[in-house]
Amino acid sequence: MRNAGQVASDSAIGSLEYAVGVLEVPLILVLGHDSCGAVRAAIDSQGDEAAPLPAHIQGLVDGIVPAVRKVWGSPDGPIDTAGIDAGFVGREHLRNTVGELLERSELISDAIAAGTLAVVGANYRLAEGRAETDIVVGRI
């Protein structure tokens, strides 16, 4: 059973482990982007009058809510959805996703420790057409 806060699915991690363990890829890129609808939905879901979401959308949003809460600075209660920066939430969610990947995959963590793999988290800037590196784990 998937934990509500769990970002990366078992099948996605399995695919990445195959790439690292069998194909010996040297780099995993976790790419977020600005103007993300899921990030906006996660922020909006924490407001006073948030409408219930369909189950699969709620499952997606649940993985982003910890980033919303961290950026807002409060673990519970409604937030001022207009007062929270979606870019900050997206970057925090990106870091959470990279951290979860390392935590949940011993194979990936071991490859980083062995110096054969790096994981890079970056944010794609849609208007500018470029990605900005946010976090690097391992040697590139």
pLDDT digits (tens, 9 = 90+) for 115-126: 999 999 999 999
* Pure H helices in the chain: 10-21, 37-44, 55-62, 65-72, 86-104, 106-114
Q: 56 to each of 28, 31, 52, 109, how far by Cα in Å?
A: 26, 21, 12, 29
Query: Which of the four pLDDT bands, split at 50, 70 and 90, describes residue 6?
Result: low
Q: What percent of the chain has pLDDT over 70?
A: 94
Tell me which fold the domain 10-138 belongs to: Beta-carbonic Anhydrase; Chain A (3.40.1050)
pLDDT digits (tens, 9 = 90+) for 13-69: 999 999 999 999 999 999 999 999 999 999 999 998 899 999 999 999 999 999 999
Q: 12 to each of 15, 43, 102, how far by Cα in Å?
A: 5, 25, 13
Domains in the chain: boundaries:
10-138
